[in-house]
C-alpha cells in the first residue's frame, strides 16, 4: 500500500486474515537455544547447516546465508535491503531465505542457526502475522510435507562459532558493497512513524521560530527540534517550567495579571523584575551570577544562555535553572 510522503514505498503490514493459514493447518515451529560450543557441536549432525545473519552498518542493511555441508562451506548467499530497513527485518528475511533454500533443496535434513532470538521467536509464534514469519512457516510446512526435517537454533553472536562468524561477515559485505536492487524492500512501520514524527517536528519548529509568542523561552531554546531533546532529558518540573517561560513569581508577570501592585524589582523601583533581569543584571544576585560565570568559564549573557542549554555538560554542571527560583507570593487585601 503506497504511503503519501514516503516516495511510493510500500509499508510492511500484518498479513490479512484471508491469506493467513486456517488454525487447523497451523504448524508448530520451535527453536532450541544453544548456549555453549558443545551444544552447537551436538546439534550440527545435519546434512546441511545454514547460518543466517543480518547487519546494519553505516546506515546500510544486508543479510546473508552461509551454507555448510560436511563441515565445509558449500555455498553463500548475500541479500540486499534498503537503508530504511531494520536489523530485525534483515534477520527475519535471512531466516525466510534459509527456509526457502531448504524447501527447494534435494537434501533431507537441515539445521538453521541464527543469533537473533527476536526473529526466531517471531517465526515460532503461530499468532504472529508478520509477512516474513508467515512465509517462513509456509516454507517449513511445505518442507515437512516433502518429508524433510528443519530444526531452528539460536546461537550466541560473536562467540567464535565459525559458521555464525562467516554469516556475520557476509551480511556486513552485503550491507556495505551490494549495488543491486533490494531483495526485500517493504518499509517498516518504525520508519513510517519516524518520518511522521520528523515532519511534525519540522512543522512545529517553523511555527515556533517564526511566531511572536514565547519570547522568553526562545532565549533558552531557540530551536524547537533541539528543545525537544533537551526538555525530554531535563524532565518536566514546576520551577523549571516557570523559569523557561518566565511565567512564575516575577513581579512583571504577577503585575500583568493583577496579582501584584507593581512590576518593579526590589533592586530598583524603576526596573521591571523579569526573569532575564534576575538572571543577567539584578545586583541582588550578583554573587550567584559571578560564581556561575566562574564555573562555566564564560560571561553570562542573553546570547550565551542558549549555548549553555545546548551543552549537556554545562547544562548539568551549571544547574542554571535551579539557581533562579520564582519567589512564592501571596496577594494582600490591598493588592486585590
Please give the pLDDT value at position 292.
86
How sure is the predictor about 199, in pLDDT bands with cuts at 50, 70 and 90? confident
pLDDT of residue 169: 96
Strand 31-34 and strand 149-155: pairing?
A: parallel
In this predicted structure, the answer to whether residue 278 has a pLDDT above a threshold of 60 is yes
Taking 90 as the threshold, does the pLDDT of residue 91 lie above it? Answer: yes
- Band of pLDDT at residue 130, cut at 50, 70 and 90: very high
What is the pLDDT averaged over residues 61-86? 95
Specify the pLDDT at position 30: 94
Confidence of residue 4 (pLDDT cuts 50, 70, 90): very low
- Mean of pLDDT values over 61-85: 95
pTM: 0.71
Distance CA 35, CA 32 (A): 10
Domains contained in the chain, CATH given: 17-191 (3.30.420.10), 212-323 (no CATH)
- Residue 318 has a pLDDT of 57
Amino acid at each position: 500500500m503506497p504511503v503519501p510522503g514516503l516516495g511510493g514505498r510500500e509499508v510492511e503490514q500484518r498479513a490479512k486474515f484471508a491469506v493467513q493459514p486456517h488454525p487447523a493447518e497451523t504448524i508448530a515451529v520451535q527453536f532450541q537455544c544453544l548456549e555453549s560450543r558443545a551444544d552447537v557441536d551436538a546439534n550440527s549432525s545435519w546434512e546441511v547447516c545454514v547460518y543466517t545473519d543480518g547487519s546494519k552498518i553505516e546506515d546500510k542493511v544486508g543479510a546473508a546465508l552461509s551454507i555448510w555441508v560436511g563441515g565445509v562451506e558449500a555455498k553463500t548467499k548475500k541479500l540486499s535491503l534498503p537503508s530504511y530497513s531494520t536489523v530485525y527485518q534483515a534477520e527475519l528475511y535471512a531466516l525466510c531465505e534459509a527456509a526457502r533454500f531448504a524447501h527447494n533443496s534435494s537434501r533431507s535434513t537441515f539445521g538453521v542457526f541464527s543469533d537473533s532470538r527476536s526473529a526466531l521467536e517471531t517465526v515460532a509464534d503461530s499468532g504472529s502475522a508478520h509477512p516474513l514469519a508467515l512465509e517462513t512457516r509456509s516454507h517449513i510446512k511445505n518442507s515437512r510435507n516433502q518429508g524433510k526435517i528443519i530444526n531452528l537454533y539460536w546461537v550466541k553472536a560473536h562467540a567464535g562459532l565459525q559458521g555464525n562468524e562467516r554469516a556475520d561477515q557476509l551480511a556486513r559485505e552485503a550491507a556495505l558493497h551490494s549495488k543491486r536492487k533490494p531483495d526485500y524492500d517493504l518499509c517498516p512501520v518504525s520508519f513510517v512513524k519516524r518520518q511522521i514524527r520528523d515532519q511534525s517536528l519540522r512543522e512545529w519548529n517553523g511555527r515556533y521560530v517564526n511566531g511572536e509568542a514565547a519570547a522568553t523561552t526562545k532565549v533558552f531554546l531557540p530551536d524547537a527540534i533541539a528543545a525537544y531533546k533537551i526538555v525530554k532529558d531535563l524532565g518536566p518540573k514546576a520551577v523549571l517550567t516557570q523559569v523557561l517561560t518566565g511565567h512564575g513569581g516575577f513581579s512583571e508577570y504577577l503585575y500583568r495579571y493583577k496579582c501584584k501592585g507593581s512590576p518593579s524589582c526590589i533592586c530598583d523601583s524603576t526596573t521591571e523584575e523579569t526573569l532575564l533581569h534576575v538572571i543577567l543584571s539584578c545586583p541582588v544576585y550578583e554573587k550567584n551570577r559571578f560564581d556561575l560565570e566562574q564555573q562555566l568559564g564564560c560571561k553570562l549573557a542573553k546570547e550565551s544562555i542558549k549555548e549553555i542549554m545546548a551543552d549537556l555538560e554545562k547544562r548539568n554542571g551549571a544547574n542554571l535553572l535551579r539557581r533562579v527560583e520564582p519567589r512564592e507570593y501571596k496577594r494582600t487585601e490591598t493588592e486585590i
